[in-house]
Amino acid sequence: MSAVGSAENPLRVAIVGSGPAGFYTVSNFLKHKDLHVEMDMFDRLPTPFGLVRAGVAPDHQKDKSVMRAYDKSAASPNFRFYGNVEYGSDITMADLQEHYHQIMFTTGAPFDRDLDIPGEDLTGSHSATEFVAWYNGHPDFASRSFDLSQENVAIVGIGNVAMDVARILCKTYDELAETDMADYALEALKRSKVKNVYLLGRRGPAQAAFTPPEIKEMGELVDADVTVRSDEAKLDAASLEAMEAEADKNVEKNVAYINEYSERELTGKSRLLTIRFLVSPTEVIGRDGQVCAIRMVKNEAYQSEDGAVRARATDVFEDLPVGLLFRSVGYRGVALPEIPFHESWGTILNDQGRVQNSDGSQVTGLYTAGWIKRGPSGVIGTNKTCAQETVNCMVEDLGKGTHLNPEHTDPQAMETLLQTRKPNYLSWTDWKTLDEIEHSKGEAAGRPRVKFTSVREMLAATGKG
């Protein structure tokens, strides 16, 4: 038999998860011109692109332009897409091992982290991930509802997801109507009574997780003022010392924006966004089972032994009246069947993308990239280098003969299996049909696209219902 990766015996790779890390796996493999590789990508949703479709804010269409590059990768004759096929139920590890030499898991981090404080489960307390998935039309979240009749809303955390949520709550209907936000969310936000949005950071402006373009945008909202308390904008001694020791352009820019917002006059816009620093929620207070306030403790900053500026609680408390609460303190990966997992990190056990057993030995043929490999951090492009690192390991292992030895190497075999196991899977052509419908509806409405938000409708539109 010819070597695996030759024209006669192509390397067969399964990719589970069709977000950025999945597509960068494809483009990285395609750069290896001497390697003959056939790639099959699986996603539990009928649609591809993971968080680019269901996470990136609808008013940040530029960030979604990466889909054009993913389209190019998908145009390769050696690429196939199987949407509406879930790993663990529709296909198993044994199925993949029987059909592929190497299996890549790029399933992301779909859940959220808790605050672990009393009252977190009260009605009106949600995760930002739920809200983001809802307004982006993720089919699993389309039926959620959020009480937007509340005037006061708090968002815990000051990363870029928190910025997205705050911006969506502060934008006008006209601004949102230009986006590809789900229709039901657009309608709900049209009726929104939200007036005050609070972003709550547990550390100071110099440790904020948002990035300069995102915090700059907060100062440019059409009908929302932005403000910061001057005592909280002022840098503490530990932050000043850390900034002096290590110059960081992003930190300097963030601090400058916050400083500017603390000096701004309010102009009487309909909404007010208040960014707070050095406060930690300690309890969500309820009335009749519904959130009515959040109790916060004032923190003080200190430099820890590792040099990082951290926050510790003082004995000063404050209750902030809010009727709606979003926790936005990071995404969390979930374990996949039959794959070693690090529970507290929420990542697949791996070394540079090679899946490992708990004793550190390599699991032959299994690999990972993206948030499920390294945790939920970085921008879309970070997944490019992350996938490249893993693909390099895959190519290196192939050279060493370390790969699975699948029973079925005929590409038709997986197709045949799915036709019995999950006949209503969607191919790339099916996805392009949905894509075209969404675009043409969007064009008619002066929007980038009008999204399908139900699996049933997606299947019906592609004749797979």
Nearest distance, CB of residue 332 and ligand NAP, angstroms: 10
User: DSSP secondary structure string, 312-371?
Assistant: EEEEEEEEEE-SEEEE-S-EE----TTS-EETTTTEE-EETTEEE-TTS-EEEEEEE-SH
Question: Does residue number 379 form part of the binding site for ligand NAP (CB under 6 A)?
Answer: yes
Nearest distance, CB of residue 159 and ligand NAP, angstroms: 2
Q: How far apart are CA 5 and CA 32, in angstroms?
A: 10
Q: Judge contact between 433 and 462, C-beta under 8 A.
A: yes
Question: Does residue number 214 form part of the binding site for ligand NAP (CB under 6 A)?
Answer: yes
- Which one among 36, 53, 64, 203 touches ligand NAP, defined by CB under 6 A? 203
Nearest distance, CB of residue 267 and ligand NAP, angstroms: 26
Total Cβ atoms within 10 A of residue 245: 9
Which residue is it, tokens 């510790």? 312
Residue whose CB is less far from ligand NAP, 97 or 160: 160
Site mask for ligand NAP (CB under 6 A), range 230-269, x = bound: ----------------------------------------
- Which one among 19, 50, 205, 330 touches ligand NAP, defined by CB under 6 A? 330
Q: Given the rule CB under 6 A, which of 199-207, 220-228, 351-359, 446-454 is the region that contacts ligand NAP?
A: 199-207
Q: Given the rule CB under 6 A, which of 200-208, 239-247, 340-348, 451-459 is the region that contacts ligand NAP?
A: 200-208
Angstrom distances, CA of residue 5 to CA of 29, 269, 395: 11, 62, 9
Question: Does residue number 376 form part of the binding site for ligand NAP (CB under 6 A)?
Answer: yes
Question: Does residue number 157 form part of the binding site for ligand NAP (CB under 6 A)?
Answer: yes
Question: Does residue number 209 form part of the binding site for ligand NAP (CB under 6 A)?
Answer: yes
Nearest distance, CB of residue 207 and ligand NAP, angstroms: 6
Q: Judge contact between 260 and 233, C-beta under 8 A.
A: no
Q: Given the rule CB under 6 A, which of 21-29, 152-160, 286-294, 346-354 is the region that contacts ligand NAP?
A: 152-160
Residue whose CB is less far from ligand NAP, 218 or 404: 218
Question: Does residue number 280 form part of the binding site for ligand NAP (CB under 6 A)?
Answer: yes
Collapsed DSSP state (helix, strand, coil) of residue 114 = coil
Site mask for ligand NAP (CB under 6 A), range 384-423, x = bound: ----------------------------------------
Q: How far apart are CA 426 and CA 181, in angstroms?
A: 23
DSSP run (H or E) holding 102: strand 102-105
**DSSP 8-state secondary structure symbol assigned to residue 235:** P
Residue whose CB is less far from ligand NAP, 378 or 399: 378
Nearest distance, CB of residue 378 and ligand NAP, angstroms: 5
Q: How far apart are CA 185 and CA 88, in angstroms?
A: 31
- Which one among 202, 384, 447, 449 touches ligand NAP, defined by CB under 6 A? 202
Q: Given the rule CB under 6 A, which of 151-159, 165-173, 224-232, 244-252 is the region that contacts ligand NAP?
A: 151-159
Nearest to ligand NAP by Cβ — which residue?
Answer: 159
Amino acid 310 reads R
Query: How many residues of this chain interact with ligand NAP, rule: CB under 6 A?
Result: 24
Residue whose CB is less far from ligand NAP, 282 or 427: 282
Residue whose CB is less far from ligand NAP, 309 or 455: 309
Collapsed DSSP state (helix, strand, coil) of residue 100 = coil
Q: How far apart are CA 352 and CA 336, in angstroms?
A: 19
Question: What are the structure tokens assigned to 136, written together?
Answer: 């982006």
Nearest distance, CB of residue 412 and ligand NAP, angstroms: 39
Nearest distance, CB of residue 219 and ligand NAP, angstroms: 16
Beta strands in 143-270 (DSSP E): 152-156, 196-200, 224-228
- Helix 20-30 × helix 382-399 angle, to 10°: 50
Collapsed DSSP state (helix, strand, coil) of residue 174 = helix
User: DSSP secondary structure string, 33-86?
Assistant: TT--EEEEEEESSSS--HHHHHTS-TT-GGGGGHHHHHHHHHTSTTEEEEES--
Question: Does residue number 156 form part of the binding site for ligand NAP (CB under 6 A)?
Answer: yes
- On the CB side of 7, CA atoms within 13 Å amount to 2
Q: Given the rule CB under 6 A, which of 22-30, 201-209, 411-419, 450-458 is the region that contacts ligand NAP?
A: 201-209
- Which one among 14, 155, 162, 458 touches ligand NAP, defined by CB under 6 A? 162
Q: What are phi and psi of 199, to 5 degrees?
A: -105, 125
- Which one among 16, 37, 161, 426 touches ligand NAP, defined by CB under 6 A? 161
Binding site for ligand NAP (CB under 6 A): 115, 156-162, 164, 201-203, 207, 209, 214, 280, 328-331, 376-379
